Amino acid sequence: MEKDLNELKVQAEEKVHAAGDEKALQDAKVFFLGKKGKLTAILRSMKDLSAAERPVIGALANTVRTDVEAVIAAKAAELKAKRLEERIQSETVDITLPARHQKEGHIHPLDKALREIMKSFMRMGYSVEEGPEIEQDYYNFECLNLPKDHPARDMQDSFYITPEILLRTHTSPVQARTLRKHEPNSPIRMIAPGKVFRWDNDATHSPVFHQVEGLVVDKGIKFADLKGTLEIFLKDLFGSDTKIRFRASYFPFTEPSAEVDISFAARTHDEGGDPDWLEILGCGMVHPMVLKLNGYDPEKVSGFAFGMGIERIAMLLYGIDDLRNFYENDVRFLKQF
Ligand code: PHE
């Protein structure tokens, strides 16, 4: 019997080693160790042994069982590892394939110009204000010293929604709103960018365009402050060799009023020629009526204001000659900036 047991062990170990998959291994296990397996058959005949032999053979049978179980367990682990390895092999992804190129976005040239403008004023300590695009006639005109029948309303062809509500024709109503937001006569230094709307449409005019308003109010603000501020700003934007010219003009909400022309290197005619002047913004000293209508006392404080079109500035900065390019969003155009 001892020989039978040792043989069984050798056979079992061979079978287990030869098992190529989990099914073959399970079959081997049943064949040797199962209820109807070889080991059980041997143990069953132990009843024929003498009392002296029985414990010896019993102990050997147990060792054989444990050894064979250990070999089976080792084989099972090996097969499992092999199966995992095969899965890893068959499911690998080829990461050497070049990735599909993502299209990159660009900052829109109008936004780029606005950021330049804001950077310059924020450096000078200006805050940024906002106001509604759908505006009351009252803020857009009336409290800017433009009563209902004022002829200067014709300067800005307006889209009315009702007789009292319109799409704002300029960012100047934010002047009035900002004055009213503040404690009367307290200092203000702000810019207000945004969309504006006028009934106009050709290569240099769009019914929707963008402006940046500016307003400074404090004790003793003079025209020299306006001039100095705009000079710093325009040289920031167009370069330190930019020439600046103030031309007398008229706006109902400023007095005196001026338009500012610039001439900068990229725009100057051939050497020795006259500089090429371009109108860039409107400005002036805040009209005393505007201060009064919005809760400030023109006897105590004074101020200046200015307004500029962002499209015009972007056209000059980036050499664009048709304003409609800004709104068509043709990728071939946008990609250039
Ligand atoms: N609001 C004026 C315009 O749109 C520009 C301006 C603003 C002029 C502030 C003077 C002061 O034409």
Over residues 188-208, mean pLDDT? 91
Indicate if ligand 1 lies below 6 Å from the C-beta of 309.
no
On the question of pLDDT at 324 being above 80, the answer is yes
Domain boundary among 55, 90, 125: 90
**Which atom of ligand 1 sits closest to the CA of residue 307?**
7
- Average pLDDT in the chain: 90
How much distance in Å is there from the Cα of 213 to the middle of ligand 1? 7
Is there a single domain that holds both residue 186 and residue 298?
A: yes
On the question of pLDDT at 271 being above 80, the answer is no
Over residues 198-226, mean pLDDT? 93
The confidence score (pLDDT) of residue 178 equals: 98
On whether residue 45 sits in a domain, the answer given is yes
Is there a single domain that holds both residue 160 and residue 197?
A: yes
Q: Which residues pair with 248 in a beta bridge?
A: 258
Indicate if ligand 1 lies below 6 Å from the C-beta of 284.
yes
At how many degrees (to 10) do helices 2-18 and 53-90 cross? 0
On whether residue 98 sits in a domain, the answer given is no
- The CATH number of residue 115's host domain is 3.30.930.10
On whether residue 154 sits in a domain, the answer given is yes
The confidence score (pLDDT) of residue 276 equals: 78
Q: What is the pLDDT of residues 6-60, one digit of tens each?
A: 888 888 888 888 888 888 888 888 888 888 888 888 888 888 888 888 888 888 8
Is there a single domain that holds both residue 158 and residue 250?
A: yes
Is there a single domain that holds both residue 302 and residue 246?
A: yes
On whether residue 248 sits in a domain, the answer given is yes
Is there a single domain that holds both residue 180 and residue 48?
A: no
Is there a single domain that holds both residue 61 and residue 133?
A: no
The confidence score (pLDDT) of residue 132 equals: 98
Range(s) of the domain holding residue 81:
2-90
Is there a single domain that holds both residue 193 and residue 328?
A: yes
Ligand 1: residue whose CA is nearest its atom 7: 307
The confidence score (pLDDT) of residue 273 equals: 53
Over residues 156-178, mean pLDDT? 95
- Least Cα distance to 119 among 268, 233, 253 occurs for 233
On the question of pLDDT at 154 being above 90, the answer is no
Is there a single domain that holds both residue 165 and residue 271?
A: yes
On whether residue 69 sits in a domain, the answer given is yes
SS3 for the chain is CHHHHHHHHHHHHHHHHHCCCHHHHHHHHHHHHCCCCHHHHHHHHHHHCCCCHHHHHHHHHHHHHHHHHHHHHHHHHHHHHHHHHHHHHHCCCCCCCCCCCCCCCCCCHHHHHHHHHHHHHHHCCCEECCCCCEEEHHHHCHHHCCCCCCHHHHHCCCCEEECCEEECCCCCHHHHHHHHHCCCCCCEEEEEEEEEECCCCECCECCEEEEEEEEEEECCCCHHHHHHHHHHHHHHHHCCCCEEEEEEEEECCEEEEEEEEEECHHHCCCCCCCCCCEEEEEEEEECHHHHHHCCCCCCCCEEEEEEEEHHHHHHHHHCCCCCCHHHHCCHHHHCCC
Indicate if ligand 1 lies below 6 Å from the C-beta of 283.
yes
The confidence score (pLDDT) of residue 51 equals: 83
Residue 269: which pLDDT band, with cuts at 50, 70 and 90?
very low
The confidence score (pLDDT) of residue 157 equals: 86
Asked if 288 and 298 touch (Cβ cutoff 8 Å), the reply is yes
How much distance in Å is there from the Cα of 250 to the middle of ligand 1? 10
Ligand 1: residue whose CA is nearest its atom 10: 283
The domain tally of the chain equals: 2
On whether residue 104 sits in a domain, the answer given is no
On the question of pLDDT at 203 being above 50, the answer is yes
Q: What is the pLDDT of residues 272-308, one digit of tens each?
A: 555 678 899 999 999 999 999 999 999 999 999 999 9
Domain boundary among 59, 90, 121: 90
Indicate if ligand 1 lies below 6 Å from the C-beta of 175.
no
Is there a single domain that holds both residue 48 and residue 171?
A: no
- Least Cα distance to 226 among 306, 149, 291 occurs for 306
On the question of pLDDT at 165 being above 60, the answer is yes
pTM of the model: 0.71
On whether residue 259 sits in a domain, the answer given is yes
Is there a single domain that holds both residue 263 and residue 114?
A: yes
The confidence score (pLDDT) of residue 267 equals: 53
Residue 235: which pLDDT band, with cuts at 50, 70 and 90?
very high
* Range of lowest pLDDT (219-223, 262-266, 293-297): 262-266
Q: What is the pLDDT of residues 78-123, one digit of tens each?
A: 888 888 998 888 888 888 888 888 888 889 999 999 999 999 999 9
Over residues 237-264, mean pLDDT? 94
Domain boundary among 48, 63, 90: 90
Over residues 129-142, mean pLDDT? 97
Is there a single domain that holds both residue 72 and residue 124?
A: no
Is there a single domain that holds both residue 129 and residue 187?
A: yes
At how many degrees (to 10) do helices 2-18 and 22-33 cross? 170
How much distance in Å is there from the Cα of 69 to the middle of ligand 1? 95
Ligand 1: residue whose CA is nearest its atom 5: 307
On whether residue 102 sits in a domain, the answer given is no
